[in-house]
Amino acid sequence: MRQAVSTSIGYVVCESSIDGSSAATTPSSSMDQMAESTAWLKAQGIPESEWNSASAVVDPEGRGPRIYFQRVPEGKVVKNRVHLDLNVGGPRGAPQGEQRRRVDAEVERLEGLGARRSRVVEERGEYFVNMFDPEGNEFDLQ
């Protein structure tokens, strides 16, 4: 059975088989990634019931890790098995005030997208904000 992933920022990511026998990441300059993704899902003959079974976020420059999300039948009942720390404060050595401003701006942006702030942590010279995504998965912005 084939399965596909939906879009990420700026391009379409497609997985052509569940068993991992073939996969492709295809750059796209489309202005409407969802429409393009839907067209490719249809072209591959993937049933509409499978369209939202998985998705991925891929760094367009290929430097960062691919983050793959897979739908599961059970709800979250325990602590995350994966906890992401997203470095949004700028490069190492950036002034602490600048790092904090960048982190706070990203917190505000993500709250506008449905994330929730849990707590602000300032310890050992570090500043980060613990948050939850819309499904309750915990992550930090630092």
pLDDT per residue over 91-109, tens digit each? 878 899 999 999 999 999 9
pTM: 0.56
CB 109 within 8 A of CB 97: no
Q: Is 10 left (phi over 0), alpha (psi -120 to 50) or beta?
A: left
> Rounded distance, CA 90 to CA 27, Å?
26
pLDDT per residue over 1-58, tens digit each? 333 333 333 333 333 333 333 344 444 445 566 777 777 778 778 788 877 777 777 7
Strand partners, 57: 67
